[in-house]
Amino acid sequence: MSSSIMRTVTRTVGRTPLRVATAPAATRALSVRLFSSRKSQHKHIPTSKASINPGVLGALAAGALAGWYFYSGAETGPSNRDSWRKVNFHNVYKDIASLLEDEDYDDGSYGPVFVRLAWHASGTYDRKTGTGGSDGATIRFTPESGHGANAGLDVARARLEPLKKKYPHISYGDLYTLAGVVAVQELGGPTVRWRPGRSDEKVSEHCTPDGRLPDAAQGANHVRDIFYRMGFNDQEIAALVGAHALGRCHSTRSGYEGPWNASPTVFTNFFYTELLEDKWVPKKWDGPAQYVDKDTKSFMMLPADVAFKTDPQFRKYVEKYAADQDAFFADFAPAFTKLLELGVKFPTDAPVYEFKTLE
């Protein structure tokens, strides 16, 4: 479906956020096809079938986790760099997918917060020092779990914790990054290649310092400083920011408030189309500086988002992705895989997965 037609669909629904993830399966599948330029038809291509062993099966705790605890210093568990060999990741994928929909949470899906968890667990990497990234999963320890940019991610970790109990040999690093892949694919996005082999740190002393994740209040220079530190170029940065099509900001977490577009539980190129086609004006409120669309004031953009419209180098990619969702998907998938793998020393025989979606 063309970008112009998808925009017409968005306008037709009255620019009211859609709770696609909570719909019955048939309706949700139709909605994903409606907002995506192609229906996903993924295939699984591990590099070594012999290295994939069936995992330990158990009963998944019913319902949502009642509470959450912070890992403050140390933990014990069976997962290590080689324990992934005992995990059936196809089953893990399916179980994560089963956790996405919840009509009582946010816009009806945990998918957006799973993507954010995977992103923030990985985006602390510093290529100069070789520190940070998803290897170690230090995001579950204080003080890193309490960094301002990670506010609200305890919700995602709590949602996934029963799966760590069910699959004790999976590392938290693998679990959190796989959750991001599941969310992208099951919400209508591209196939994202993923491989296991991350290990978990056992103590909090390996936490990264605060300030390694992007500051939404800053502009293009800051965005480049953050992502260049990780080893990304402008095209990859512009592709990654398109994930802001998912989810919303919460004043109780980031301080900002509102969704980026009308379909926050469907992976689309709407971040780019909205950024270019709407007129964005400063929001009048007591919170931090952000923008709202002039016509309805229903949607928002962060100062760092607007930089992708005003910076000439970023804008050329924004225009490309706004005009062609397939081009966005094609560039997002490898950039997201790269993000999730930063700093990870994978075993040489770790298989590469391309998981099939459930619908």
Supply the residues annotated as catalytic.
Answer: 120, 260
Among residues 110, 132, 106, 116, which one has the least CA distance to residue 250?
106
3-state SS, residue 44: coil
DSSP code for 47: S
The Cα 196–Cα 349 span in angstroms is 10
For residue 353, what are the CA distances in angstroms to 177, 178, 191, 324?
13, 10, 10, 26
Cβ contact 136:206 at 8 Å: yes
Instruction: For strands 291-293 and 300-301, give the pairing.
Output: antiparallel
CA–CA gap between residue 258 and residue 359 (Å, rounded): 29
Cβ within 8 Å of residue 346, ≥6 positions away: 195, 197
Q: Closest by alpha carbon to 51, among 88, 96, 101?
A: 88
